[in-house]
Amino acid sequence: MAATELRLPECPAPVAAVLHRLPSFPASLALVTALNVGLAPQLPLDVSEHLRGKRFRLGVRDARVQLDFTWDGRRFKPLPRQSQVDLAITASAPDFLRLAQRAVDADMLFFDRRLSMEGDTELGLVVKNTLDALELPLLHAAWLRRGRA
């Protein structure tokens, strides 16, 4: 493990049972806030157009949480729970964190059956290739230590 890699344990089952019962919208709002800060400014115009109006779901398997959101062409926006989405990506919280830190490859997680994508295959490839093309990790431990004396 790199010195700057954050570690996160899987969500304990009793906590997941509580999280599963909570409304998803506040957590979706927190997710899109992070995406709008870290990802939205880096989206190429062609990708932005491809994502416009699409409905996404991020499923956190161990926490039993599903977060729905969309891209309006300028920013990510939270959605209440949708009956259908264009693309659903599911993994555990630790695996999502490791992906954001670029400590693990999405293909490896996919082939190890630790990450799944369901829905529009072409959209899934656009999302994966866009995230792979970003120059910096989306989440780096050093960023969290900034401002601490």
Q: Is residue 148 part of a domain?
A: no
CATH code of the domain in which 25 resides = 3.30.1050.10
Residue 126: per-residue pLDDT: 96
Checking if the pLDDT of 21 tops 70, the result is: yes
Quote the domain boundaries for residue 61: 13-137
- The answer to whether residue 124 is domain-embedded is yes
- The answer to the question of residue 4 being in a domain is no
Nearest Cα residue to 106 out of 78, 73, 83, 129: 129
Domain membership of residue 145 (yes or no) is no
**Where do the DSSP E strands lie in 38-130?**
55-60, 65-71, 76-79, 87-91, 115-119
122 found inside a domain: yes
- Residue 146 counted as domain residue: no
Q: Is residue 53 part of a domain?
A: yes
Q: What is the pLDDT of residues 62-120, one digit of tens each?
A: 999 999 999 999 999 999 999 999 999 999 999 998 888 888 889 999 999 999 999 99
Q: Specify the higher pLDDT residue, 134 or 97.
A: 97
Specify the number of domains making up the chain: 1
**Is a pLDDT exceeding 70 seen at residue 136?**
no
Q: How do residues 39-54 score in pLDDT, each as one tens digit? A: 999 999 999 999 999 9
Q: Which two tokens stand for residue 102?
A: 């670029």
